């Protein structure tokens, strides 16, 4: 069996944090399968962390260029997904999310007629390539007699995303916009359910392995039975590894080196290295779980050699970005220098000189 440290180092490699040959944001997102994105700045850095020499605006350009799509993909949570994958992923994963929200829909007084009416209004409002802000879209629903107060608006738009009617378009200043998915990304042929399950399993274990069935089910939102079916459908491309779960042969086919130690990285909130697994003890000792808020991805972790060693914060000033480093235990000089280098890499991504606090 692999030790937690060995698992962490293997995941650094397979997640392409420590070593990568990617040259575009869509390659990063396509490799990972999906990048959690309810925090826009954090999602951009999740991509940038795996794309050497990139800048934050490169990710925005990939969205505006329709190469990656922001929508409610896995578990009904906002994710970036490759444009080529968005339709088959929604077809596979959205029905379970929708059924899981049935009681909440009833609490809000929403039924299938409401969702159908909402989607008709959205199609009329956004057709012809229009891009509208959330406020403008909700105003159009109100004008059509569809109440959006409380959480109704959130769930109406979320359901339209799960149904493949809308997705997010490019940013316009600080505002996110909505567009029609059919106009934004060309339709593609359907993928059979069994094939889609196998494709998702291959993607996950290649980019996130070593991992377990339980990790895959958590990440995807699939039932354990469907997760098993996906692993079976992947066939010989997955084999049993020494960490107790399937291992993808695809991971070995893509260049990636074990990092030189100490290797440090500043992770954003909700990064796949932490939230891509049900069991996160590969990254942090159980005794430290109470000291770092990893459960909901809210902390900004410092990792050294794949293990959480502390947290960081960033504050933007007029001319720089101030990065505060807080270690759980005092680092040695090599770890400190590696972490400072990681902060400087973040500064280059956001286009600001770094001040270490």
In the chain, where the domains are located: 100-182, 264-356
Instruction: For residue 240, list its beta bridge partners.
Output: 246
| CA atoms of 190 and 202, how far apart (whole Å) | 18
User: Residues of the chain whose pLDDT is less than 70?
Assistant: 240-258, 293-298
Q: Is the dihedral of CA 147, 153, 157, 158 positive or negative?
A: negative
Q: What is the pLDDT of residue 247?
A: 58
Look at residue 255 in the predicted model and tell me its pLDDT. Answer: 47
Q: Do residues 212 and 279 touch, judged by C-beta distance below 8 A?
A: yes
Own/partner pairs for 107-112, CB < 8 Å, 24+ apart?
A: 108/150, 108/151, 108/152, 108/155, 109/152, 110/152, 110/155, 110/156, 110/159
Question: What is the pLDDT at residue 222?
Answer: 98
* SS3 state at 322: strand
pLDDT digits (tens, 9 = 90+) for 90-141: 999 999 999 999 999 999 999 999 999 999 999 999 999 999 999 999 999 9
CATH class of 100-182: mainly alpha
Length of the chain in terms of residues written = 357
Secondary structure element (H or E) that encloses residue 88, with its range: helix 86-100
**DSSP state string for 327-355:** ESS---HHHHHHHHHHHHHHHHHHT--EE
143 Cβ neighbours under 8 A, 6+ residues apart: none
Q: Is the pTM of this model over 0.85?
A: yes
Return the pLDDT at 346: 98
The answer, yes or no, to whether the previous bond of 262 is cis (omega within 30 of 0) is: yes
Closest to 203 (Cα-Cα) out of 168, 185, 223, 227: 227
Neighbours of 123 (CB within 10 A): 15
């Amino acid at each position: 069996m692999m030790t937690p440290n060995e698992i962490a180092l293997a995941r650094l490699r397979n997640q392409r944090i420590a070593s990568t040959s990617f040259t575009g944001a869509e390659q990063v997102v396509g490799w990972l399968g999906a990048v959690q994105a309810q925090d826009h700045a954090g999602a951009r850095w999740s991509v940038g962390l795996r794309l050497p020499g990139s800048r934050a605006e490169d990710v925005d350009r990939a969205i505006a260029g329709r190469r990656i799509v922001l929508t409610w993909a896995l578990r009904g949570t906002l994710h970036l997904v490759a444009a080529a994958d968005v339709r088959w992923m929604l077809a596979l994963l959205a029905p379970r999310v929708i059924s899981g929200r049935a009681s909440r829909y009833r609490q809000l007084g929403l039924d299938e007629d409401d969702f159908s009416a909402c989607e008709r209004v959205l199609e009329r409002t956004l057709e012809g390539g229009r891009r509208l802000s959330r406020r403008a879209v909700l105003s159009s629903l109100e004008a059509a007699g569809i109440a959006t107060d409380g959480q109704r608006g959130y769930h109406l738009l979320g359901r339209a995303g799960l149904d493949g009617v809308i997705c997010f378009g490019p940013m316009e200043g600080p505002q996110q916009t909505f567009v029609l998915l059919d106009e934004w990304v060309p339709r593609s042929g359907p993928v059979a359910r069994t094939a889609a399950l196998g494709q998702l399993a291959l993607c996950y274990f290649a980019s996130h392995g070593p991992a377990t069935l339980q990790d895959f089910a958590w990440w995807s939102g699939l039932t354990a039975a469907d997760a098993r079916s996906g692993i079976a459908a992947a066939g010989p491309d997955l084999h049993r590894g020494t960490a107790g779960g399937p291992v993808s042969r695809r991971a070995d086919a893509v260049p990636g080196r074990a990092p030189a130690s100490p290797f440090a990285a500043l992770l954003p909130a909700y990064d796949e290295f932490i939230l891509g697994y049900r069991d996160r003890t590969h990254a942090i000792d159980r005794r430290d779980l109470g000291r770092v808020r990893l459960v909901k991805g809210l902390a900004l972790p410092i990792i050294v050699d794949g293990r959480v060693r502390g947290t960081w914060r960033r504050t933007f000033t007029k001319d720089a970005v101030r990065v505060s480093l807080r270690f759980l235990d005092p680092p040695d000089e090599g770890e400190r220098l590696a972490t400072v280098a990681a902060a400087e890499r973040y500064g280059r991504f956001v286009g600001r000189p770094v001040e270490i606090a």
